[in-house]
Chains A and B, each alone.
Chain A
Amino acid sequence: MSEQDRFDDLLRSALGRVEPPAGLEGRILRAAGLRHRTPRGAWLRAVAMVLIVLAAAALGLLWRQERARAERAEQARRQLEFALQLTYDRLVKAERQANSIGVRKIRFEEVPQ
């Protein structure tokens, strides 16, 4: 047997497997059982999922409200534009009629409310 082989054998016998203490297996199984009953990771994941769903729902609601408000504003803007256009047309027509009958200056009077 060479020097190298003897040295390898010595290391193998010194670093061979050691039997674990008798109670270790039971201790680990109990600890795993406790962890199984209260799976902290699973709880945290569930809470995180609920929070994500709630946040997504809140964001969705805010987005819908904002879109409805923007639609109402656009509708109001169009109505106002239409009303102004109508008023302008009437005024132009009235001015033409006044000019045709020779009125140079129109005196405005405040209409009592």
Chain B
Amino acid sequence: MLQFADLLREHQSMVYSLAYHALGDRAAAEDLTQEVFLALFEHLDMLESAEHAKAWLMRVAANRAIDEIRKRRYRSGPPLEAAEPAEAGAQEDWVLRAQVRRMVAGLPARARTMIILRYQEDLGPAEIARALDLPVQTVKSRLHRSLNLLRGRMARGLAGVRAGRRA
């Protein structure tokens, strides 16, 4: 019998991070995490193993995040972290990461969730396809398109930063 508290402790970080990166809002991410775990609580007797529970959580969290993005039409990126690092190198990384998150947040709901699953959870296209109930080929082509889009935007963004520094 799976223990709810154990599953919560083990996977809350995965669900919360997915929701946070998808919605860019800590309060909304908390609400979505709570909703997902309460749904897990109701379906606990239908889940056979810890792996099954993890896959279930990922699928439900990803799909609810997509619904929530579409409902709220989130377009703005996540807020920058509260404490800005003092060191120059760390500061540059921090700005870069914030910029990447903002660009990811500009992607359509499904593409955004695919990128998050790919880089947050290190999932391959087949696992993402299972989580989002899509054909693997669709996931591959959308990931490819989204990454090209992000790469182009990143290049333009970095060129802007360098030009600003030179000026």
User: When chains A and B are docked, how far (Å) is the Cα of A8 from the Cα of B100?
Assistant: 11
The answer, among A8, A24, A25, for a CB contact under 8 Å with B119, is A8
Does B57 touch A at the CB level, under 8 Å? no
Q: Decide: A11 near B119, CB < 8 A? Known: A21-B26, A24-B16, A32-B41.
A: yes
CB closest residue in chain A, given B118: A11
The answer, among B9, B33, B34, B104, for a CB contact under 8 Å with A14, is B104
Q: Decide: A35 near B101, CB < 8 A? Known: A24-B16, A24-B30, A28-B33.
A: no
User: When chains A and B are docked, how far (Å) is the Cα of A32 from the Cα of B37?
Assistant: 8
CB closest residue in chain B, given A41: B42
Q: Is the CB of B120 within 8 A of A28?
A: no
User: When chains A and B are docked, how far (Å) is the Cα of A10 from the Cα of B92?
Assistant: 12
Q: Is the CB of B96 within 8 A of A25?
A: no
Which residues of chain B are within 8 angstroms of A8 by Cβ–Cβ distance? 119
Which residues of chain B are within 8 angstroms of A21 by Cβ–Cβ distance? 26, 30
Interface positions of A from 1 to 51, Cβ below 8 Å from B: 7-8, 10-21, 24-25, 27-29, 31-32, 35-36, 41
User: When chains A and B are docked, how far (Å) is the Cα of A16 from the Cα of B5?
Assistant: 24
Chain A contact patch, size range: 20 to 34
Which residues of chain A are within 8 angstroms of B34 by Cβ–Cβ distance? 24, 27-28, 31
Which residues of chain A are within 8 angstroms of B53 by Cβ–Cβ distance? none
Which residues of chain A are within 8 angstroms of B96 by Cβ–Cβ distance? 10, 14
Q: Is the CB of B30 within 8 A of A17?
A: no
Interface positions of B from 81 to 114, Cβ below 8 Å from A: 93, 96-98, 100-101, 104
Q: Is the CB of B8 within 8 A of A15?
A: no
User: When chains A and B are docked, how far (Å) is the Cα of A28 from the Cα of B41?
Assistant: 10
Q: Decide: A11 near B100, CB < 8 A? Known: A16-B120, A17-B17, A18-B20.
A: yes
Q: Is the CB of B12 within 8 A of A20?
A: yes
CB closest residue in chain A, given B116: A15
What are the 8 closest A-B residue pairs judged by CB atoms, nearest first? A14-B100, A20-B16, A14-B97, A17-B17, A15-B119, A11-B119, A32-B41, A18-B17
9 examples of A-B residue contacts, CB within 8 angstroms: A10-B100, A15-B115, A15-B120, A16-B120, A19-B13, A20-B33, A24-B12, A25-B12, A36-B41
Known: A11-B100, A15-B115. 12 other contacts (CB 8 A): A8-B119, A10-B96, A14-B101, A14-B119, A18-B20, A20-B30, A24-B16, A24-B34, A28-B12, A31-B38, A35-B38, A36-B41
